[in-house]
Structure 1
Amino acid sequence: MRWNIERITFYSHDGRRRDIVLTPGSVNIITGASGTGKSALIRAIDYCLGSKDCDLPEHVKIHASAVAVLWTNGEANLLTARIIPPSGQATSTRMFVAFGAEISLPDRVEDLPGSCNLATARVEIQRAFGIGDVTQDVSKGRSKPERISIRHITPYLFLSKSVIDSETILFHGMDNKEKAEGIIGSMPYFLGAMDEESIDTEKRLKQLRKALESELARMSSRDAELDVLKQRALSLLGEAAQCGIAPTAAQDSNLDSLLNDLNLVAQWSPSATPLQDDSALTGLYDAKAAALSEIAELRRQRRIVAETVQYASGFSDTVSRQLRKVAIVETLNPSSMHETCPVCLQHTTAAPEMLTLIRQSAEKLKKERTVTSHQRPRLEGQIEALNQEIEALTGQLRSIDNQISSLISAADDSKRLADNTQRAVRVVGRVSYFLEAFKQRSHEPNKRLSEIEAEISDLEANYDPEYKELRLRTAESEISRSATDIIKPLPTEPPCTGAEIQFLSKKPDIVLVQPSTKRIVRFGSIGSDQNYLAIHLALIFAIQRFLKETAAPVPGVVVVDQVSRPYFPSDDETDEINLDQESEDEDTRALKRHFDFLFSEVAREQDLQIVVLEHAYFAEDPRYTSSTKYRWTKASGEKLIPRDWPIVEANKSRSR
């Protein structure tokens, strides 16, 4: 027997409890006025199946402290209970889960067995229902896969008031984008297209294919990296060749050859560089300075002597000119010059004295010229001697300069050798770093690649990716056929009447195929609340039939919130609607056909439990009256939560 609900229990704050007792394998009807708490039963069951939030009505939150659902499969019971959060608090993570043959509901919240947190409770309920530890496919928009959980079975259990005649929502929970992704992703599992083993295989294949793609990309990147490394190796060997510590590498050399050459470079060590003695160079510079100083002094002396020679030559010329001027005195007779000047022939008494003085001056000039004539060769000889000394010192200076140039050249060679050694040391350092970095990289991915390819090959040999699609198409086909059979006796209008239902699980979606024209009618274009009611009923019970046939881990329970909604719309003031034979009209007859189907479906499936929350009440239908568990009418004043239950203030915390 599939799991059914035996009872739903609410606990008050003062130790009382309210039991909603249901009959497994049958139709259970709860009728009554609006606002009596009928719709809260779906939310209570959902809350005890580990929903994220507590959507119970405010009236329930302030009067009840906990809610419990007792499930049975004929052999064992499963208790799922949960603390109700106070008003203003979104939810409670405290739950109670107990499984066994003798499990029953205690009278007090404090005695509920199996206290645990929300996550643990979900796992325990899943285990009891038979849901495996599997991960669904990653839906579009999801960043990571989600585990299939108890939260994914609710679309097959509830036809809530927002769904039952909706023209946009196909399943309970599909109006929430996040929930919808989980429902769609888990559907192949519940429809039997995949089991735990195939899901694990598919998941592993996806992981391996992703790893294979990554490995291939890494190999492609590795090839590009190796090319960069080769160019770097060539560049380092080129630098080493410039330093003279490696031969020039050929551009077409392979990387292994280049690495061998670089390893040889890394083993190079510098030889000792001879030290340069600067004392000899200092002495030469001192000798050069002394020679330059001495040459400068000789040149000064030569300049003085030359100036003297030049002065003497000028003096000699002057004396000669003066002598020529006074040479006339040699021709004059002093005796004839007593009173007459020999030059101007004028009368003078001083002529003889003047002639004497002139002759004396001429004699002195002759002596001076003689002296000058004797000194000039000596001075010229002195200049020649100075020139010889200067030339000798100049030769010595050239020798000193040559020695200095030689020592400087040697020093430059030594410096170049030292600089080249330092450069070579730096190159060797970079080569060593390059080789060390190269060793730390993994350049042999072929082994990992072959392992991945081998595992993919083994898994693909035992897993056909098309098998999932085939099974899913088969499930869709069987559900579509059942839904088409179910909808035939239900009241519908064109284009639904006589049409074939096609269920598409991937969206999920429903389309109608016209029998004669084969024209496709989309779900949103079907029209008529009556049609949408019939389609939702046909689909959920067709799925329930399939779930039973495939022994899917989903309870055989369907909770329907107001089948009469399209025929007798209600508001908050609507009381129970009594329908009898005298007041029977077209809508009543149509509604009755829906209930005829529900009763026949329970009889057909036997372990299927249907819970109907209704306004309508067929007082003269014995099947209906015997299946009605509770009537919460305005006249009776009965409700889901008794009126005399105490209220807990919104800001009062609960210690339980």
Structure 2
Amino acid sequence: MSFSIKAIIIYSHNGKIREIPLRENGLNIITGKSKTGKSAIIDIIDYCLGRGAFNVAEGVIRQKVSWFALHLIRDQEEVFVARNNPGPGASVGAEVYLRRGKLESYPKLDELQKNITADALQKFITQFAGIIENEHRPETGTRRPLSANISHALFMCFQKQNTIASQDQLFHRMNEDFLPQAMKDTLPYFLGAVDEEHFLLLVEQEEVAKLLRTKEAAAAKVISTLDISKTRISRLINDAKRLGLLEQHIQPDQEDIIDHLKSLAEFRFDDPAYIPDFGETISELRFQEKNIQQTLGQLNHDIRAAKEFLSDQTAFSREASEQASRLKAIGLFKNEPENPDVCPICESTLSSPTPTVKEISQSLSEIEIHLREVHKESPHIQKYMGDVEGRILEQTEKLRGVQSELRRVIVEDERLRSIQNQLIERARFIGRLLAFLELVEPDAETEDLDGEISSLRQRLEALRSRINSDDTTAKMEAALNLIGKQMTSYSNKLDLEHSGSALRLDIRKLTVVADTDDGPIPLNRMGSGENWVGYHVLTHLSLHWWLRKRHRPVPAFLVFDQPTQAYYPSDIVDGSIEQIARDDDRRAVQSLFELMKKACEDIEHPFQLIVLDHAHLRDEWFGKSIVEEWRGDKALIPAVWPTLSQLSE
């Protein structure tokens, strides 16, 4: 048994509460003029039951409402669920409030605080509707498995104004991508062609099939191993001989070859008498070599500099001696020249004045001082050069020793690496050998694979017979046949084109088909808007007749929005039937509501039919079915409710 709606509740921004009570069973009519908010009822219900998007049209409702809520009931269990109005321009609200248990009064606005996520709300409503764990698994494998939830169930609960008069779209939201296929996949579950036991068997079947695949893979592995073992044995024998682990006369085709391989698997490596340092000694010797070479380079640079200095000093001494010899001629002059600008010998005019005797004597004195300094430093430089040359010889000899040791260590290191590589290669060989022996020697788990595989195949076949797809198809056809008969019966109450023909619900194309003498006629080839509305109404009433008869987990309500739109003029005022000009149209409207009244009597409780329409018939039963009438100043949203901007003024 699923749930119905006890009331729709709306909160203003200043805390006022607007309650629209509904009867839990039977016909509920909300009638009124256009633009009073009737069409928003479906979007509000859909939103509060977990839909991700909020699709109420922009305008008064988005501006004046703070929260939307539903009071749901199933048997004696009650649930209050509310969602905040995302406001103008927004597509979804983030706040959800959920409360379980009997309600004496509705929560105040300040009590509505988020206590559940939108995803968790959808899961809760799915469970509250009675939808159990289920999963449709496409046979082709091109689509992922799909679990039916409340969103899929609601496809059968709403008929919006643009849907109920459509020739191409029979169910709610079937103009959205992927949803038609989702409905086709979930209908067998909702109509009862598959039940809870079916899904439990599917899970068991998957587990058994998975285990069977594992066992079959293990058996195939054993067979494959036996097929390739000869080639691998030959390769292992050759590798063992190459590594010195096996004598050369051993052949792969010997009867006891496995025993030989098993003995090799027990091979133990002796510890080597030496431990290679992996190049550390070589690195140290190369470092010493580099340092000695750098030292030699510096010493050679120093001795070159000393030799250059000594050479420069010798040249200076020679030049200075020559200068001194020339300057000593000053002794020939006893007196200063009378005119320094005239040569004292040839009496010619000089370009540069003749130096005085005093100046020449001073220059000679300075040169002699420099010569004495040079002669004093020369022995020191000679000694320094001898020391440097001695150090060069010492470092050169040291370099020869290091390089000799380096060559010896490199040879030894290569030998150690060769030994180590052989040990590593032997270890790898033993590892491959152990893996091979594990494969060719079946353990306890693989010894009885054939018996286990046979048992699992029998079990899987038994499960498949219990989940017979033909049986599911037969149940589906039976359900659709009975629904089709009810559709045909209801069509006799309406004056429709092809009325009285055998009607059926085509779930492959999600449409209504009339089987006539001239062949099948789908909905999109049936007459006009009046026919499309009539077939929508009788199809959904018949569908809910079956759902309630079989106690299926689809919400126990159905909402029709403007089913009489094709009959009333656009300037409708009071919705009276007299506003319809043609007699046959008035009869059609009367028949349409009488069919709804009869269906509510035929369909097992709980069932709630909510009709949002202009019409207001004069029949007493119609008046008793009205729960709200929005004419004059009355509407879904009271005119006195303020907007947020008005509250902030």
What range is the shorter-chain TM-score in? 0.5 to 0.7
Structure 1: 5+ residue stretches without partners: 274-417
Q: Deviations over 1:442-468 (max 9, x none)?
A: 976638756743652563465444332
Q: Is 1:89–2:90 an aligned residue pair?
A: yes
- Bigger shift: residues 34-43 or 527-536: 527-536
Change (3 A) 1:31 1:272: closer
Change (3 A) 1:208 1:524: farther
Q: Check the 8 A contact 2:11/2:67 in 1, yes or no.
A: yes
SS at match of 1:116: coil
The within-5 A match list for 1:156-235 is 156-209=156-209, 212-213=212-213, 216=216, 220=220, 223-224=223-224, 227=227, 230-235=230-235
Paired amino acid for 1:476: L
Change (3 A) 1:21 1:533: same
Q: Check the 8 A contact 1:39/1:561 in 2, yes or no.
A: yes
Q: Is 1:643–2:639 an aligned residue pair?
A: yes
Question: In structure 2, what is the equivalent of residue 512 of structure 1?
Answer: 514
Change (3 A) 1:499 1:123: same
Paired amino acid for 2:167: E
- Bigger shift: residues 22-31 or 103-112: 103-112
TM-score, with structure 2 as normaliser = 0.67
Q: Check the 8 A contact 2:236/2:433 in 1, yes or no.
A: no
Question: In structure 2, what is the equivalent of residue 585 of structure 1?
Answer: 583
Q: Is 1:13–2:13 an aligned residue pair?
A: yes
SS at match of 2:14: coil
Structure 2: 5+ residue stretches without partners: 273-415
Q: Deviations over 1:121-150 (max 9, x none)?
A: 233333333222333335878754343322
Q: CA deviation at 1:8?
A: 0.5
Q: Check the 8 A contact 1:243/1:421 in 2, yes or no.
A: no
Q: CA deviation at 1:593?
A: 1.1
Paired amino acid for 1:262: L
The within-5 A match list for 1:306-385 is none
Question: In structure 2, what is the equivalent of residue 395 of structure 1?
Answer: none
Work out which of the residue numbers 583, 600, 608 in structure 1 matches 2:598: 600
SS at match of 1:24: coil
Question: In structure 2, what is the equivalent of residue 343 of structure 1?
Answer: none
Question: In structure 1, what is the equivalent of residue 403 of structure 2?
Answer: none
Change (3 A) 1:240 1:2: closer
SS at match of 1:96: strand
Q: CA RMSD in A?
A: 3.9
Change (3 A) 1:228 1:248: farther
Q: CA deviation at 1:55?
A: 1.6
SS at match of 1:565: coil
> 1:35 & 1:51 partners in 2: Cα distance?
24
Q: CA deviation at 1:103?
A: 2.1
> 1:271 & 1:49 partners in 2: Cα distance?
76
Question: In structure 1, what is the equivalent of residue 502 of structure 2?
Answer: 500
Change (3 A) 1:56 1:141: farther
SS at match of 2:116: strand
> 1:119 & 1:212 partners in 2: Cα distance?
37
Q: Deviations over 1:45-79 (max 9, x none)?
A: 11111111122223322211111111234634332
SS at match of 2:644: coil
> 2:78 & 2:28 partners in 1: Cα distance?
19
Q: Is 1:615–2:614 an aligned residue pair?
A: yes
Question: In structure 2, what is the equivalent of residue 532 of structure 1?
Answer: 532
Q: Check the 8 A contact 1:134/1:199 in 2, yes or no.
A: yes
Paired amino acid for 2:471: Y
Change (3 A) 1:173 1:555: same
Q: CA deviation at 1:212?
A: 3.8
Q: Is 1:486–2:482 an aligned residue pair?
A: no
Paired amino acid for 1:184: K
SS at match of 2:70: strand
Paired amino acid for 1:111: E
> 1:625 & 1:25 partners in 2: Cα distance?
16
- Bigger shift: residues 588-597 or 456-465: 456-465
Answer with 1 or 2: which has the greater Rg: 1
Change (3 A) 1:547 1:433: same
Q: Check the 8 A contact 2:568/2:579 in 1, yes or no.
A: no
Change (3 A) 1:149 1:253: farther
Paired amino acid for 2:189: Y
Q: What is the aligned residue count? A: 497
Q: CA deviation at 1:22?
A: 1.8
The within-5 A match list for 1:625-636 is 625-633=623-631, 636=632
Paired amino acid for 1:486: Y
The within-5 A match list for 1:272-283 is none
> 1:40 & 1:142 partners in 2: Cα distance?
38
SS at match of 2:162: coil
Q: CA deviation at 1:220?
A: 4.6
> 1:272 & 1:563 partners in 2: Cα distance?
95
Q: Check the 8 A contact 2:480/2:505 in 1, yes or no.
A: yes
Q: Is 1:521–2:503 an aligned residue pair?
A: no
Q: CA deviation at 1:42?
A: 0.6
Question: In structure 1, what is the equivalent of residue 72 of structure 2?
Answer: 71
> 1:253 & 1:33 partners in 2: Cα distance?
101
> 2:42 & 2:525 partners in 1: Cα distance?
29
The within-5 A match list for 1:138-157 is 138=138, 144-157=144-157
> 2:46 & 2:247 partners in 1: Cα distance?
80
The within-5 A match list for 1:40-79 is 40-59=40-59, 60-73=61-74, 75-79=76-80
Q: CA deviation at 1:16?
A: 0.3
Work out which of the residue numbers 477, 482, 498 in structure 1 matches 2:481: 477
Paired amino acid for 1:597: L
Q: Deviations over 1:558-578 (max 9, x none)?
A: 1001111333475xx765543
Question: In structure 2, what is the equivalent of residue 34 of structure 1?
Answer: 34
Question: In structure 2, what is the equivalent of residue 547 of structure 1?
Answer: 547
Q: CA deviation at 1:82?
A: 1.7
Paired amino acid for 2:97: F
Change (3 A) 1:235 1:467: same
TM-score, with structure 1 as normaliser = 0.66
Change (3 A) 1:42 1:169: same
Paired amino acid for 1:505: I
The within-5 A match list for 1:433-448 is 433-438=431-436, 446=449
Q: Is 1:459–2:463 an aligned residue pair?
A: yes
Change (3 A) 1:165 1:271: closer
Q: Deviations over 1:421-456 (max 9, x none)?
A: 999867644431213444787976638756743652
Q: CA deviation at 1:171?
A: 1.2
